[in-house]
């Protein structure tokens, strides 16, 4: 779409093209166009902000201060749109209307340097603290010893083999997760 081109103050790659037959917003990644004959609605705020919505669902929102639009360009945005499709919006609160300065890039804050002595310790890569790992290892060893004593004790006194098997399996299952986690 050929027309007057206005660069965005906050994005050097974004351009708003205001033409007699519609509006186009070109960004570094996409192009959005709403033509006058393909416009489903044009929302118009008294401060000059406009939002044009196309029949295909494409929407172009225009803040005049972002593109340094003059009064003629603001009028051109909706001049070719059928008057029945222009929806007058209520005035916005003054604090909601961005000024030109709001779009200008802010100077970068000076980089903060941290002295080497104040550097943070490296982040942990394991979920276990050393103390927790020792506790789990000790409990696992105790579970293993309990298994060994149950097994050896049952062989000497002629206990019921089913009960011995049950207690041995229980003690062994208690020890296995501890070993796997350490």
Whether residues 91 and 13 fall in one domain: yes
Is 136 or 25 the better-scoring residue by pLDDT?
25
Show which of 65, 87, 103 is a domain's final residue. 103
DSSP codes of every residue in 136-147: HHHHHHHHHHHH
In a domain, 173, yes or no: yes
- Among 32, 33, 30, 50, residue whose Cα is nearest residue 41: 50
pTM exceeding 0.75: no
In a domain, 125, yes or no: no
pLDDT tens, position by position, 11-51: 888 899 999 999 999 988 999 999 999 999 999 999 888 99
Whether residues 35 and 94 fall in one domain: yes
- Among 6, 113, 119, 136, residue whose Cα is nearest residue 63: 6
pLDDT tens, position by position, 138-179: 666 666 666 666 666 665 566 666 666 676 666 666 656 555
Buried b / exposed e over 44-59, threshold 16 CB at 10 Å, is: bbebbbbbbbbeeebe
d(CA 68, CA 7): 8
Show which of 86, 103, 120 is a domain's final residue. 103
Query: Are the beta carbons of 83 and 25 closer than 8 angstroms?
Result: no
| Domain containing residue 176 | 130-181
- CATH number for the domain spanning 45: value is 2.30.29
Mean pLDDT of all residues belonging to the chain: 77
In a domain, 109, yes or no: no
Phi/psi region, residue 84 (left: phi>0; alpha: psi -120 to 50; beta: rest), is: alpha
Is 122 or 75 the better-scoring residue by pLDDT?
75
In a domain, 39, yes or no: yes
Which is it for strands 86-88 and 39-44: parallel, antiparallel or unpaired?
parallel
Q: Is the pLDDT of residue 110 over 70?
A: no
Whether residues 10 and 51 fall in one domain: yes
Whether residues 53 and 95 fall in one domain: yes
In a domain, 122, yes or no: no
Whether residues 99 and 137 fall in one domain: no
Whether residues 96 and 135 fall in one domain: no
Show which of 52, 68, 103 is a domain's final residue. 103
Q: Please give the tally of structural domains in the chain.
A: 2
Whether residues 74 and 13 fall in one domain: yes
Structure tokens at 133: 């790992």
Give residue 175's pLDDT. Answer: 59
Whether residues 67 and 142 fall in one domain: no
């Amino acid at each position: 779409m050929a027309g007057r081109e206005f660069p965005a103050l906050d994005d050097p790659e974004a351009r708003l093209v205001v033409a007699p037959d519609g509006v186009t917003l070109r960004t570094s990644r996409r192009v959005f166009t709403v033509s006058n004959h393909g416009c489903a609605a044009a929302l118009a705020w008294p401060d000059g902000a406009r939002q044009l919505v196309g029949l295909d669902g494409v929407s172009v929102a225009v803040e005049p201060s972002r593109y340094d639009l003059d009064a003629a360009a603001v009028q051109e945005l909706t001049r070719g749109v059928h008057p029945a499709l222009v929806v007058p919006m209520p005035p916005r609160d003054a604090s909601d209307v961005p000024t030109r300065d709001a779009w200008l890039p802010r100077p970068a804050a000076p980089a903060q340097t941290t002295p080497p002595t104040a550097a943070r310790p490296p982040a942990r890569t394991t979920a276990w603290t050393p103390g927790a790992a020792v506790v789990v290892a000790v409990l696992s060893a105790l579970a293993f010893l309990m298994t060994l004593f149950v097994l050896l004790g049952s062989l000497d006194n002629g206990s019921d083999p089913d009960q011995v098997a049950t207690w041995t399996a229980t003690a062994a299952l208690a020890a296995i997760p501890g070993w796997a986690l350490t």
